Chain A
Amino acid sequence: MSFSFSQENLEKIAALKKRYPSPKALCLPCLWLVQYQEGYISLDAIDAISEQTTIPPMEVYRVATFYTMFHLEKREKLQVDVCKTLSCKLCGADDILQHLESKDVTINHVECLGSCGTAPVMQINDKNYENLTIEKVESILEELL
């Protein structure tokens, strides 16, 4: 399960390095690149980030564990982030959640996704799905699963 950055990502890292006085600033960008590339952050990836940023692996690992949006384990199922904050709750997020529970997906309860005007909202692979109804969820999942 060894890890190496894709050529495209290496180019991105090289471009980012020019932007900051120290490569240490690239810790979070690198973690994101890894997560987009692999879907999760493996220990080998942390070593690769450590090499790029000159930050010891333990420190990168600490950052990765601190932020809940970084995943350290491989996620097999489709990840569905459902907003659990006020506006969505009032507009029926609970019904959406209940419906999702019967599906073969991993449900993550997340804080406000910043789209209260179009509540209830869920997010899949960084894309927001708004004004949800059960029918809408059904068709979205059909497309993705």
Chain B
Amino acid sequence: MSRVVDIIIDGENYRAEENSLLIDLLIQEGIKVPYFCYHETLGADGNCRMCMVGIEGQKRPQIACDTLVKEGMVVNTKSDTIREVRKNILELELINHPVDCPTCDQAGECSLQDFYMEYGLHNSKITIAQKVKHDKAIDLGANVMLDQERCVLCARCTRFTAEITKTHELGIVGRGDDAKVTTMPGRTLENDYAMNVVDLCPVGALTSKDFRFAQRVWFLESSEGICHGCAKGCNIFIDHNKLKYKDDTIYRFRPRRNDAVNGFFICDAGRLSYKELQEMRQESATLHGREISQEAAKEAFHNLLLLHQNSIAVVIDANLYTEEIESIINFANTIDAKIYAPLDIYKDASFADEMLKSSMRAANYKTIENLGITTSTPQNATLIINCNHPQEFRADATINFFTHRRETQALTLPIAAYTESSGSLTNEDNITQYSKQAVFKNSPLPTISDYLQGLGYE
């Protein structure tokens, strides 16, 4: 542990660890500093030169990402010289940029745009015809599209594939004006975390094939959620939007920083898992495969409970929120049913890796374990109430609470998916996290606990 020293930034006193990076302090304290190449996980590269600050005693401006905090350092981030320096560097970054913001997906979350409005506001000294042309819309594989003209060569993506995934697919080849990010000829971007380069890219050079042209980012609303892809519990932003005359729709998942769980990244499988939340949904109560009214469903529910008294088993999906699980347990205790939550079906060793993906593909299985729920399959029950468990169970009768349509003749009640409700989850490392409701459908589906309340069970 190094000692804490005093430093002055723009006339204000701050305390920071000696020899820590100055840019970290600036970011942490919310002092505006523009940068492309620096990233907290990937570290400093010092190639974009945007984070110039003035340091008293130094002749020339220095890059904050390569400056170590020293005792008594006096830093200036706002002087006219610094603004001028940043403006000139930005002009250089933009010199070959095609300025195709109207058709660029990054517009609205683009560092180039933001810095131009903040520092640039200059007219380009060269014409479009003089700009160096590169390839556009290159399909790199793994759902990533590359536009070499928009690239500022910050090398974040190449450092990601070199240092984080260690797959080394991307690199900057050529030199000078010819330099561009690319894969090796005939090879593609191929790793389970590839789409993170889209988030890492500060400009519109790398965009997601999945999200391209789907929505303008300023129309999207971001909710803080937890990915349900596996037991890791990666923090995500659920970006959704309710268009006029349309229902609330999710357009993408993005990683949300949480150093205790997932850092800055999520896996591609989790990122694309939003799609299945919106497809093949169970939208109304069904019996024998036919749609029935809420009242009829309620009646059928009560009749089945009466008929099978004392021989009922409730099976709980290990992806449900803890609050849901608790209310299901209360319900089961009221009707004297046995509770099961078979976990074997969630185990998938082929999914797991050493980074974020867990072999347990159930977001809340830890709660099942912590509550001591039986994890065997139900025995000797004549009625099984399946609370969205993926497995199929044999019994004389079944009541299903399903988010998605499945082949069944039994009484099936539609329930809200995890993005349509909120609750807490405990991940495999016993960290409990809260996932907020993101999607508010035009005709919202109830959760299981809503149902149970409506049916008279608290």
Contact = CB atoms under 8 A, between A and B. Distances in A.
A61 B175 contact: no
Contacts of B170: 58
Contacts of A57: 168, 184
B140 to A, nearest CB: 13
Contact of B173 (A43, A56, A65): A65
B186 interface: yes
B185 interface: yes
A66 B162 CA distance: 18
A11 B173 CA distance: 30
- Range of interface residues on A (Cβ < 8 Å): 10 to 19
A43 B168 contact: no
A24 to B, nearest CB: 14
A62 B162 CA distance: 13
B172 interface: yes
Contacts, number: 30
B174 interface: yes
Contacts of A59: 162, 168, 171
A65 B173 CA distance: 6
B214 to A, nearest CB: 31
Contacts of B172: 62
A62 B181 CA distance: 10
B317 interface: no
A66 B174 contact: yes
A59 B172 CA distance: 9
B184 A43 contact: yes
Given A66-B174, A66-B175, A58 B186 contact: no
B174 A56 contact: no
A61 B186 CA distance: 13
Most buried by B among A56, A58, A62: A58
A43 B169 contact: no
Interface string A43-64: 1001000000000111101100
Contacts of B169: 58
Interface string B149-173: 0000000000000100000111111
Top 8 closest pairs, chain A to chain B, by CB: A56-B168, A65-B173, A58-B171, A58-B168, A62-B171, A65-B174, A66-B175, A61-B184
30 contacts: A43-B184, A43-B185, A43-B186, A46-B184, A56-B162, A56-B168, A57-B168, A57-B184, A58-B162, A58-B168, A58-B169, A58-B170, A58-B171, A58-B183, A58-B184, A59-B162, A59-B168, A59-B171, A61-B171, A61-B173, A61-B184, A62-B171, A62-B172, A62-B173, A65-B173, A65-B174, A65-B175, A66-B173, A66-B174, A66-B175
